């Protein structure tokens, strides 16, 4: 069993959200060490790189490597931005960290800020996360009072200020460049890359954006050492992560497991298996944008590389379990509606394509579709991915491509056999001329 308690240990300690309890459990030792021993940026990057800590917001980009992209000779301020927007359907792990271990996140953010010489940290919290915001507000105040944030942190010459910003309920603002636009006071529209934020980010200054969970592992890496962390996981995928498992399982919740743990173990051992002991039908492994897996594909290990090898993604670790009673057409319709609603409208393929896919899916789900609709759906999805400024286009198209391909029979069954597309000229069996 590969259950670990690196972050989740704080979930089990009563009042670990409060500074005295967090400190009594080893909190702020790592940040104090980095600051008071004046660790140079290179030492922080190389430690985090050696731990093989990957970005846990979705893309899995190695954290230490990202930090090292900030130009050392850049003049003026640099910024660290914490992505706490957590809006991908099926994802709810960052919320737990902010509620139960907000100081762990702040500590990780302090260390990351030191690695790029940033004096300002912006935390962008999902607008609907009222309680997590309150929890962070309190933690920031406590850390400031203790001298861990603000001027001369830990008695050093370093100054670090945290600015908390609430979003306004837009999924697109979780995309890092849209998030920066929103923080700057503009409409939350993604920007073309390059330039990458590490070079030209917030207010056109070098900026690192990391997910809440990624940063929360940083103090643990420093405390326990990078070798320990790397070895907990598998090659190139160090340590552990939080998996938020929901849907048709007996024990939905947040589980912290080593990277590389078998998916079957998470579903059947930790999450108790499928509700009502029904048959498993499908799994969305890491948030609604990840290609769906059939029940035959769950013998895969939970790490970024293993999921990529079978054509899906580990994503945000938000796993949605569907049993044999699930109507896959309805699920895909729900997903299509979400992405159409959340498309920012900047790029034509995404703006038009997500609406088009939703309209087709509405026809199919209501029994008024044709098999041509299914082909069109597949074609439209294929034309969105890779053709937009940000990956929301891919996020919208990947579920469509995978659902239609893997559950084609179920989709075919929904489209009336008697109906043929007018343009095709073909007649269904038995149809009068
Ligand atoms: C449409 C969209 C929404 C996203 N939403 C989030 C989010 O809510 N939280 C998050 O951490 N990353 C989100 N991401 C990924 C971020 O763009 C970015 O890769 C991430 O914050 C980097 O942090 P990491 O390297 O620590 O994973 C989203 C990406 C896209 C395309």
152 domain-assigned: yes
For 1-14, what is the mean pLDDT? 92
* The pLDDT value given to residue 266: 98
| Residue in the structure block whose two tokens are 């409409």 | 187
Say whether both 319 and 344 belong to one domain.
no
What mean pLDDT comes out for the span 131-138?
A: 98
Task: Give the residue-averaged pLDDT of 122-135.
Answer: 98
Distance 410 CA to ligand 1 centre (A): 32
Task: Give per-residue pLDDT as tens, 82-103.
Answer: 999 999 999 999 999 999 999 9
End-to-end CA distance of the chain: 64
175 and 220 both lie in a single domain: yes
Domains contained in the chain, number: 3
Same-domain check for residues 250 and 214: no
222 plus 279 within the same structural domain: no
Confidence of residue 427 (pLDDT cuts 50, 70, 90): very low
Q: Which atom of ligand 1 is nearest to the CA of 172?
A: 1
| Alpha carbon distance 61, 83 (integer Å) | 14
> Is residue 433 over pLDDT 60?
no
Q: Which residues form ligand 1's pocket by a CB distance below 6 Å?
A: 55-59, 61, 83, 85-88, 171-172, 174-176, 209-211, 214, 390-392, 395
From 84, 136, 104, select the one nearest 30 (Cα to Cα): 104
- Tally Cβ neighbours within 10 Å of residue 259: 27
> Residue 58 above 80 pLDDT?
yes
* 187 and 82 fall within a common domain: yes
Give the pLDDT band of residue 1 (cuts 50, 70, 90).
low
Residue closest by Cα to atom 12 of ligand 1? 57
For residues 223 and 239, membership in a common domain is answered with no
Looking at 191, 211, 230, the residue that finishes a domain is 230
Burial class (CB within 10 angstroms; exposed 0-12, middle 13-18, buried 19+) of 419: middle
What average pLDDT does range 68-94 have in this prediction? Answer: 96
Same domain, 85 and 169: yes
Ligand 1 center to residue 37 CA distance, Å? 32
In the reported structure, the alpha carbon of residue 274 is separated from the centroid of ligand 1 by a whole-number distance in angstroms of: 29
Per the model's pLDDT, the better-predicted residue between 60 and 423 turns out to be 60
The CATH number covering residue 263 comes to: 3.10.20.600
Q: Give the domain range for residue 190.
A: 8-230
Atom of ligand 1 nearest to the CA of 56: 27
Please report whether residue 137 resides in a domain.
yes
Q: Whose CA is nearest to atom 10 of ligand 1?
A: 57
Nearest CA to ligand 1 atom 2: 175
Choice among 2-6, 204-208, 312-316 with the minimum mean pLDDT:
2-6
Question: Considering the domain boundaries, does residue 284 fall inside one?
Answer: yes
Residue 241 lies in a domain: yes
CATH number for 222 = 3.40.50.11540
Confidence band, pLDDT 50/70/90 cuts, at residue 419:
low
Q: Is 59 helix (H, G, I), strand (E, B) or coil?
A: coil
152 C-alpha to center of ligand 1: Å? 31
Please state the rounded mean pLDDT for residues 147-151: 98
Q: Are both 137 and 58 inside the same structural domain? A: yes
pLDDT (mean) for 245-272: 98
109 and 244: one domain?
A: no
- Assign 2 a pLDDT band (cuts: 50, 70, 90): confident
Residue 111 has pLDDT above 70, yes or no: yes
Examine the domain organization and report whether 226 and 264 are in the same domain: no
Res 423 pLDDT > 70: no
Q: What is the pLDDT of residues 319-363, one digit of tens each?
A: 999 999 999 999 999 999 999 999 999 999 999 999 999 999 999
From 45, 56, 58, give the residue whose CB has the most ligand 1 atoms within 8 Å, as the site to mutate: 58
Nearest of 112, 215, 108, 126 to residue 164 by alpha carbon: 126
What secondary structure does DSSP assign to 137-201, as a single string? HHHHHHHHHTTSSBSSGGGSS--BEEEEEE--S-GGGGSHHHHHHHHTTS------SSSPTTTS-
Do 58 and 201 have their domain in common? yes
Is residue 430 in some structural domain? no
């Amino acid at each position: 069993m590969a259950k670990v308690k690196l972050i989740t240990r704080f979930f089990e300690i009563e009042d670990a959200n409060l500074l005295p309890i967090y400190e009594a459990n080893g909190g702020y030792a790592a940040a104090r060490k980095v600051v008071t021993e004046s660790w140079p940026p290179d030492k922080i990057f190389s430690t985090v790189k050696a731990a093989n800590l990957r970005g846990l917001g979705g893309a899995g980009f190695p954290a230490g490597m990202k930090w090292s992209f900030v130009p050392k000779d850049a003049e003026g301020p640099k910024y660290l931005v914490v992505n706490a927007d957590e809006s991908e359907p099926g994802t709810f792990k960052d919320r737990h960290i902010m509620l139960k271990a907000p100081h762990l996140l702040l500590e990780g953010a302090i260390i990351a800020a030191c690695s790029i010489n940033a004096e300002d940290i912006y935390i962008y919290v999902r607008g609907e996360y009222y309680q997590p915001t309150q929890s962070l507000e309190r933690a920031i105040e406590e850390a400031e009072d203790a001298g861990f944030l603000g001027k001369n942190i830990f008695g050093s010459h370093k100054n670090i200020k945290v600015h908390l910003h609430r979003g306004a309920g837009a999924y697109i603002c979780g995309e890092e460049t849209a998030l920066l636009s929103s923080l700057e006071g503009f409409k939350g529209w993604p920007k073309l890359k390059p330039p990458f934020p590490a070079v030209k980010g917030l207010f056109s200054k070098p900026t690192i954006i990391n997910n809440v969970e990624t940063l929360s592992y940083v103090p643990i890496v420093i405390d326990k050492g990078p070798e320990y962390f790397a070895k907990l996981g598998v090659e190139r995928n160090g340590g552990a992560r939080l998996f938020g498992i929901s849907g048709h399982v007996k024990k939905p919740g947040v589980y912290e497991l080593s990277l590389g743990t078998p998916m079957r173990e998470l579903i059947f051992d930790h999450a108790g298996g499928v509700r009502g002991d029904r048959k498993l039908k499908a799994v969305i492994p890491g948030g609604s944008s990840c290609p769906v897996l059939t029940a035959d594909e769950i013998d895969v290990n939970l790490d970024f590389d293993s999921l990529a090898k079978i054509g899906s993604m580990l994503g945000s670790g938000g796993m949605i379990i569907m049993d044999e009673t699930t109507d896959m057409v309805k699920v895909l319709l729900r997903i299509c509606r979400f992405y159409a609603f959340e498309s920012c409208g900047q790029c034509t393929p995404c703006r038009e394509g997500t609406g088009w896919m939703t309209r087709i899916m509405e026809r199919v789900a209501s029994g008024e579709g044709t098999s041509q609709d299914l082909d069109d759906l597949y074609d439209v999805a294929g034309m969105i991915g890779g053709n937009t400024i940000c990956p929301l286009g891919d996020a919208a198209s990947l579920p469509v491509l995978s659902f239609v391909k893997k559950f084609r029979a179920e989709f075919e069954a929904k489209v009336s056999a008697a109906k043929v597309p007018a343009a095709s000229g073909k007649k269904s069996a038995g149809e009068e001329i």
